[in-house]
Amino acid sequence: MKDKATLLAGAALAVWILGGMTSALAQGPPPGGGGPGGGGRPPSGGPGGVRGELPDLGKAADRFQAWKIAKIGGAESFSKYEEEVREKYQGLIEKIKKATIEDRLDGKKARGFIVKALGINNGSAKGGGMVESKLKALEAEVDGALADSANAETLTPSLNQLQWLIGETLIYGSKTKELSAAKVNSINKKLIALEEKEAKAKKDGKLTNLERKRLDEGAMKIWELIVKGLKGRND
C-alpha cells in the first residue's frame, strides 16, 4: 500500500492536470479557426460576431444551399437526358467563379454573367440545342472580359471568396424575394463601392496590410447586412 505522501503527491498532480485542461477549455480554440490546424477568419471577424461563412445564416443557409443546387447547379432545370449540356453549364459557372476569386474578372461583371446563366438555365428543359448555343455565346462573352493573369502582390482570395458569397446570396435573396428589392439594391451598392475601393487600392500593384484589413472589414460589414436580412426574415 502506498504511503500517505505518495497519495498526496498523486492527488496534487491530478488537480494540476485537470485545472490546466479546464483552463484550456474555457479559453476555446486557438485564434484562426475552430478546425484542425486553425485557419480561416477569426471568430470576431465581423462587428456582429459573424465569421464570413455560410453557417452565419443559420436556418437560412439550408434554404440557400437548396436553391443553389436547384438553380445554379441546374438540378431543377436539366433533365437526365441533358447531362452533357448541364456539365457545360456547371463548367461555365465554375469558370466565372474561379476567375473572380483569382482577380481576373470584375465582381460586378461576374454577377451579371451568373444572372445571364440562370436565365439560360431556366429555359433549358424546352430549349434543346438552343441552350447549348446560348451557353457558348455567354462563355465567349466571359472570355472577353477575363484578364490575362493576376498579380500575386495584390491577390486577396479570402476577400474575394466572401465577396462571391455575398453576390450569390444577393442573387438568391432577390430571386426568392427573401430580401426586399430595396434591401438588395442598398447592399449591392455597398458591394460595388467596396469593389471600387479594392480596385483603387490594387492599382499601384501593391496592397498593404492596412489596406487588406480595411477591405476585409468592409466586406464583413456587408455580409452582416445579408445575415441580418435573411435570418431576421425567416428564423
Domain boundaries in the chain? 54-234
| Angle, CA of 109, 77 and 184, to the nearest 5° | 40
Amino acid 45: pLDDT: 52
Percent of the chain exceeding pLDDT 90 equals 63
Please state the rounded mean pLDDT for residues 148-170. Answer: 95
Amino acid 166: pLDDT: 97
Amino acid 231: pLDDT: 84
C-alpha–C-alpha distance, residues 46 and 78, integer Å:
38
Q: Are 31 and 204 within 8 A, CB to CB?
A: no
Query: Minimal CA–CA distance to 225: which of 176, 182, 195, 175?
Result: 182
Amino acid 81: pLDDT: 76
- Confidence band, pLDDT 50/70/90 cuts, at residue 175: very high
Please state the rounded mean pLDDT for residues 153-158. Answer: 95
Work out the mean pLDDT of the chain and round it to a whole number.
Answer: 81
Query: Minimal CA–CA distance to 226: which of 60, 45, 7, 67?
Result: 60
pLDDT per residue over 56-98, tens digit each? 999 999 999 999 999 999 888 888 878 888 999 999 999 999 9
Please state the rounded mean pLDDT for residues 166-177. Answer: 96
Amino acid 178: pLDDT: 95
